[in-house]
Amino acid sequence: MGTRTNGFFPVIFLTLIVFISVAALTLTDAITKDKIELAKEDEIARMLITLFPQMDGFTYDEQNDLYIPLAEQQPLGRAFIAEQSGYSGVISILVGLEPDTTLRGIRIIFQQETPGLGAKIVESFFLQQFPGLAVDDIKLTKKGGKVDAITGATTSSSAVVEGVRKAILDKLNQLGRET
């Protein structure tokens, strides 16, 4: 341990350490920034292709925050990201719409629900209930909709369903206002 413990030396030392640390972080950020962006885009592209299997590319509409899957330059539908608080933390969902407003399907991008219970929202038996639903049917069965909740994980199921429905309504509202 250093012997010079009085005066300004500790302050200067700590400041120096902080500067070095900032420099190291700036450098790391510069190296990884593009990679991280790329990884996120890859992730979205991978999920889009499971919703729109015939797509051969996609564009991102920045103004409306929409992903537009394309096949031979023709749009196949629309997709966007919905977020809703689940049982623990935010669930982030990729919502795919047909060219009309029926649901193409959903994919879970990020969730931290209880393993073994709420985390089952990523499994296909739950997700396969969504394709083809009209906006008003995206509710849990007991609330008059057409989606069965996962046993023991009503909160997580409900969060997904409500998040998707609200996001679609909001998005359609937003698009309706602009055109």
Partner 1 sequence: MHSFTKNFLRGIIRSNPTFILLLGLCPTLAVSTSLDNAVGMSVAFTCVLLASNIIISLIRNHVPVRVRIPVFIVIIATLVTIVDLMLQGFIPALSKSLGMYIPLIVVNCIILGRAEAFASKNSTTNSIADALGIGIGFAWAMILISLIRQLLGTGKLDLFGRHLFTVPGLGDNPVAIFLLPMGAFFVIGVLLALFRWMGVSTGE
Residues that bind partner 1 (CB under 8 A): 1-2, 4-5, 9-11, 13-14, 17-18, 21, 24-25, 28-29, 31-33, 35-36, 39-40, 42-43, 110, 112, 114-117
Q: Which of 179, 175, 178, 177 is nearest to 78 (CA)?
A: 175
Backbone φ and ψ of 74, nearest 5°: -95, 135
- Work out how close the CB of 134 gets to partner 1 at its nearest, in angstroms, rounded to a whole number: 32
Minimum gap (Å) between residue 151 Cβ and partner 1: 11
Smallest distance, partner 1 to C-beta of residue 35, A: 3
Buried b / exposed e along 95-105 (16+ C-beta atoms within 10 A) = bbbeeeeebbb
Nearest to partner 1 of 69, 118 (CB atom):
118
Name the minimum Å distance from CB 25 to partner 1: 6
Smallest gap, in angstroms, from Cβ of residue 126 to partner 1? 16
d(CA 107, CA 92): 9
For 22, half-sphere exposure in the C-beta direction (CA atoms, 13 angstrom radius) is: 6
Report which of 65, 66, 69, 76 is spatially closest to residue 47, judged by C-alpha positions.
69
Q: How far apart are CA 179 and CA 177, in angstroms?
A: 6
Residue nearer to partner 1 on the CB measure, 27 or 175: 27
Query: Which residues lie across from 80 on neighbouring strands?
Result: 95
Nearer to partner 1, 5 or 124 (CB): 5
Q: Which is nearer to partner 1, 88 or 173 (CB)?
A: 88
Residue 40 vs 143, nearer CB to partner 1: 40
